[in-house]
């Protein structure tokens, strides 16, 4: 499977994600569920919270981040400093070998280019949940992605509503 890297900034890979446990991030404070889904019969959700001034986003089981599952993937602090990344991509064997990528974005990044001919919409982080002002994106790779219609995979590129690139922001 292809894993993204972006302009020298590394994306967290499965090997790294599997060594990260929620207990390694300290106790989990109250969290907000951003999305819920079911893939290949397995329920999962995207949860976010702020911890020690850093945004945390994890894809985990339906019981949330307080109950670690073997395929939970995510991170706290998204920037280009050592040990961090602008986005996370992972593989969730518990959800039918699902590949996914996600991360936070500045408020003006309304979409993300993931392939030369594929752009996906971003969603706002809830403003009343104690999270930083901004947006997030989530891309679940369909089987056989990218195909000819999608074009070639590109490092995720945040775009504004006019399709112009937007710089990543430290979260």
Q: What is the pLDDT of residues 102-159, one digit of tens each?
A: 999 999 999 999 999 999 999 999 988 889 999 999 998 887 889 999 999 998 999 9
Tell me how many degrees the CA angle 33-35-38 measures, rounded to the nearest 5.
120
Q: Place 162 in a pLDDT band, splitting at 50, 70 and 90.
A: very high
- For 64, the enclosing helix (H) or strand (E) is none
Pick the residue with more confidence: 75 or 14? 75
Pick the residue with more confidence: 13 or 72? 72
Give burial (CB, 10 Å; 0-12/13-18/19+) of 16: middle
Residue with tokens 């997030």: 136
What does the pLDDT look like over 54-66, one tens digit per residue? Answer: 999 998 888 888 7
Q: What is the pLDDT of residue 143?
A: 78
pLDDT at 51 over 80: yes
Tell me how many degrees the CA angle 24-25-30 measures, rounded to the nearest 5.
135
């Amino acid at each position: 499977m292809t894993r993204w890297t972006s302009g020298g900034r590394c994306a967290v890979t499965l090997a790294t994600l599997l060594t990260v446990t929620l207990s390694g991030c300290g106790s989990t404070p109250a969290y907000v569920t951003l999305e819920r889904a079911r893939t290949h019969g397995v329920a999962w959700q995207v949860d976010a919270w702020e911890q020690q001034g850093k945004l945390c986003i994890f894809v985990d089981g339906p019981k949330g981040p307080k109950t670690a599952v073997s395929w939970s993937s995510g991170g706290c602090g998204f920037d280009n400093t050592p040990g961090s990344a602008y986005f996370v991509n992972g593989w969730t064997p518990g959800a039918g070998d699902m590949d996914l990528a996600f991360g936070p974005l500045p408020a003006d990044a309304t979409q993300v280019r993931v392939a030369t001919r594929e752009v996906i919409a971003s969603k706002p982080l809830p403003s009343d949940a104690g999270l930083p002002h901004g947006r997030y994106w989530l891309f679940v790779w369909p089987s056989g992605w990218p195909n000819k219609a999608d074009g070639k995979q590109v490092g995720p590129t945040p775009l504004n509503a006019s399709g112009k690139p937007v710089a990543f922001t430290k979260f």
